[in-house]
Structure 1
Amino acid sequence: MRILQALPALYSGGVERGTVEFASDLVKRGHESFVVSKGGPMAEQLRGQGSTHIFMPIHRKSPASFGQIRPMRRLIQELHPDIIHVRSRMPAWIIFLALKGLPAERRPAVVSTFHGMYSVNPYSAIMTRADHLIAVSDCVRDYVLANYPVPEDKLTVIQRGVDLSAFRQRELSQQWLQRWFRQYPQLAGKKIIMMPGRISRWKGQLDFLAMMAELVQKRPDCHGIIVGGAEPGKEHFLEELEKERARLGLTDRVSLLGQRNDMTTLYLLADVVCHMSTKPEPFGRTVTEALASGTPVAAYNRGGAAETLQACFPTGLTPPDDTQAFTRVVLDLLDGGKQPIEIPERFRLESQTAATLRVYDTVLAGKPGAP
């Protein structure tokens, strides 16, 4: 098949990384993979893995983006994709308007993935116009069915999969460790409690600081690391975090590391990974990645992240918004040490790819003129 994925950009978020990994798996299976976006640091990785990236500024939530309708129509006519897979709302608008200018028999099938619980309005409803919808978790599926007139048989849950080989059967490089402790000597001999995720209020970094303030009183050998960058416009929240860290007396107990490109190594280094989003998260990729590394995870029991933990590591679940209960779970996980963690098939990349290809086959079989 010829498959064109469309998303706003290729930076470092879960949607972007998932798109690149899926594209790589498509190529390995002999399909032709194309991705259209405004580009970003991950575009080079995409190309290196055998996909074709097409630059097009389809990211802006503004009327100016509708200037990309004709270029998109030309692109579709040139590529003749069998499937267009839309992963965001503005690219979906541009693609559906571009397809209007093509005869029905020359329009490719369209599949959309709900990567989140989008606000309910006509702008978001464009995602339901696809021939088939994919939800990244059961809570996203329930949200879509509750808010849009979508037939249940038109919606499939496909969990985001991780490539286990990228996280498992790896050892920490001594050279990496030497660099690490030169840069962060305060972490030597400490139990590392990691909070991954971009710097954003709803990701729960303030809760993490509150939990660490309780934890270090009971376990002075613990050190917290917050890993993730502040998005443009969120710098003020980073300053708020730094002030709260100082107020709680954690300046020497919690390090803010910013954006990192060695996450797979940090998962191995950490003794416990924390997920503390203050509202239900659609999936929670960091949970699956940490568990795939064999590192225990503590997480609030809500949203897609909880679905992953319920299936893979229920020991780590805690009542939402209860930092004291969260502290107790982290203490239990530290005492228990690293333990075998099994990742069910549905959370693995190869399973995600196979399930998505089955959706593609079903949609193509239902198109007019299909054999």
Structure 2
Amino acid sequence: MPQRSGPATVLVAHPGGELYGSDRVLAESVAGLREAGLDVVVALAGPGPLVARLEALGARVTVCRTPVLRKQYLSLVGLLRLARSTAAGLRPSWALLRATRPVAVLVNTVTVPLWIVLARLLRVPVVCHVHEAERSARPLLRRLLALPLLGARRVVTNSRFSEGVLLDAVPSLASRTQVVPNGVEGPSACVPPRASPDGEVRLLYLGRLSPRKGPDVAVAAVAALRDRGVPARLDVVGAVFPGYEWFEQELRDQVRALGLTDRVALHGFRPDVWPWLAGCDVLLVPSRTDEPFGNTAVEGALAARPVVASRTSGLLEATSGLRAARTVAPDDPDAVADAVVAIRDAWAHVRDDALADRAYAADRYSPTAYRRRVADVVAGVVSDVAPGVVRGSRP
């Protein structure tokens, strides 16, 4: 496809405009492409606070309502809705590809596969960044979700766990797949942990409100602590996907039923996570099912806060090497409560470990290194089409 004059363009496709884990990582990817001297156009399937962050990085952002794969489509009626959504998204997606004439397309997550198909039809090389790892899903479903990646020249996964789940589904992707751990930006200034958590232990749940993420496990852990005579309060910061409002109502009902209205507060989504982390003693990441990585756990370490996370999947990678982190069996409120008590009882030691973890996490999950690696991956697929358009690209 002929290129326009000026900086080469990379089109980035992403399923939404929110500011959760994969959204924040996308912003780091865009920053890396911009630092490599590329013009970046980002196509979002919906608006949200991510738009302002991307525009501040110098990207051009457009809302292009292409279909996003969700579990709600896993039925006959759902498949019909997906087919209609795909048909409606074909024209605007195709038009954007023709208008931007990108040297490459970066598809962020496997939930927007239409971009892979259309870019392949236009012979534009594709990099797909996989943020999903559903090992508990049926093998056929995992294979169907991964098959569109055969149209990508390179596949990036955010953890070895994600890579393993992907290659179990489609082994032939091995030669084009590599692991790039997420780059996670820390706070501009760190507020040290309290000298002592005497009185109430301040707990924080940070992230999407969904059954798989386990915020209800965190609520139940507060009840378990109360029953042991350990005063604790929990701030829940996050919101549901549209269509999952029933789960938020279940959470509120649970809080009332357990008599925790004075100990648990639901605050909704907040784009700036650092004030909430600064105000907590312990961050809870009680996911029930597989997590491809564990951005929230890393954010806890960057804020110098001890983390209690489920002992599963990508969370084990994210917490590896963190001395103040504790991992527990998934879906076990008593185990979460045990870990919180153990942290409280060894606070002086844990506090020192959490401060040391901050430096370790900042080095291990350096956004600067991540940006460079993403730009290098894109440079690799572009080199056959337009050699040298990405600064620092390797032959």
Give the TM-score taking structure 2 as reference length.
Answer: 0.80
- The one-letter code matched in structure 2 to 1:2 is T
Of residues 361, 364, 369 in structure 2, which corresponds to 1:351? 369
Quickly say closer, same or farther: Cα 1:242–1:77, change in 2 above 3 A: closer
The aligned residue for residue 139 of structure 1 is 161
Secondary structure of 1:207's partner? helix
Per the TM alignment, residue 19 of structure 1 is displaced from its structure 2 partner at its CA by: 1.3
Aligned residues of 1:86 and 1:110 also touching (Cα < 8 A): yes
2:369 corresponds to 1:362: no
Residues 100-144 of structure 1: CA deviation (Å, up to 9, x unaligned)? 2x3xxxx32210011102542435421332001111111110001
Aligned residues of 2:109 and 2:132 also touching (Cα < 8 A): no
Secondary structure of 1:27's partner? helix
Quickly say closer, same or farther: Cα 1:365–1:254, change in 2 above 3 A: same
Whole-angstrom CA distance in 2 between matches of 1:163 and 1:39: 24
Of residues 282, 301, 309 in structure 2, which corresponds to 1:299? 309
List aligned pairs for 1:158-169, cutoff 5 A. Answer: 158-164=180-186, 167-169=187-189
Aligned residues of 2:191 and 2:303 also touching (Cα < 8 A): no
- The one-letter code matched in structure 1 to 2:133 is M
Secondary structure of 2:171's partner? coil
Per the TM alignment, residue 298 of structure 1 is displaced from its structure 2 partner at its CA by: 0.6
The aligned residue for residue 178 of structure 1 is none
- The one-letter code matched in structure 1 to 2:132 is G
List aligned pairs for 1:217-256, cutoff 5 A. Answer: 217-218=227-228, 220-256=230-266
The aligned residue for residue 185 of structure 1 is none
The aligned residue for residue 129 of structure 1 is 151
2:221 corresponds to 1:211: yes
Aligned residues of 1:69 and 1:95 also touching (Cα < 8 A): no
Aligned residues of 2:66 and 2:93 also touching (Cα < 8 A): no
The aligned residue for residue 294 of structure 2 is 284
Quickly say closer, same or farther: Cα 1:278–1:190, change in 2 above 3 A: same
The aligned residue for residue 77 of structure 1 is 98
Of residues 331, 356, 359 in structure 1, which corresponds to 2:341? 331
The aligned residue for residue 4 of structure 2 is none
2:76 corresponds to 1:56: no
The aligned residue for residue 181 of structure 1 is none
Whole-angstrom CA distance in 1 between matches of 2:325 and 2:145: 39
Quickly say closer, same or farther: Cα 1:213–1:123, change in 2 above 3 A: closer
Q: Which has the higher contact order (CA 8 A, sep 6+)?
A: 2
2:17 corresponds to 1:10: yes
2:51 corresponds to 1:43: yes
- The one-letter code matched in structure 2 to 1:117 is A
List aligned pairs for 1:178-197, cutoff 5 A. Answer: 190-197=200-207
- The one-letter code matched in structure 2 to 1:93 is L
Root mean square deviation, CA, Å? 2.7
Quickly say closer, same or farther: Cα 1:219–1:367, change in 2 above 3 A: farther
Of residues 11, 23, 26 in structure 1, which corresponds to 2:33? 26
Secondary structure of 2:142's partner? coil
Quickly say closer, same or farther: Cα 1:5–1:348, change in 2 above 3 A: same
The aligned residue for residue 115 of structure 1 is 131
The runs of 4+ residues in structure 1 deviating greater than 4 Å are: 366-371
Quickly say closer, same or farther: Cα 1:26–1:219, change in 2 above 3 A: farther
Quickly say closer, same or farther: Cα 1:247–1:77, change in 2 above 3 A: closer
Residues 302-356 of structure 1: CA deviation (Å, up to 9, x unaligned)? 0112211113346412233333232222122233253321216442211221221
Secondary structure of 1:54's partner? strand
Secondary structure of 1:113's partner? strand
Whole-angstrom CA distance in 1 between matches of 2:280 and 2:296: 13
Secondary structure of 2:320's partner? helix
Aligned residues of 1:69 and 1:94 also touching (Cα < 8 A): no
Whole-angstrom CA distance in 2 between matches of 1:92 and 1:310: 32
Per the TM alignment, residue 70 of structure 1 is displaced from its structure 2 partner at its CA by: 4.2
Structure 2 stretches lacking a partner, 5+ long: 1-7, 70-81, 135-140, 193-197, 389-394
Residues 87-108 of structure 1: CA deviation (Å, up to 9, x unaligned)? 24453324423542x3xxxx32
Quickly say closer, same or farther: Cα 1:319–1:60, change in 2 above 3 A: closer
Aligned residues of 2:19 and 2:271 also touching (Cα < 8 A): no
Report percent identity of matched pairs: 24
Structure 1 stretches lacking a partner, 5+ long: 173-187
- The one-letter code matched in structure 2 to 1:38 is A
Aligned residues of 1:158 and 1:346 also touching (Cα < 8 A): no
Per the TM alignment, residue 2 of structure 1 is displaced from its structure 2 partner at its CA by: 2.9
Whole-angstrom CA distance in 2 between matches of 1:290 and 1:134: 24
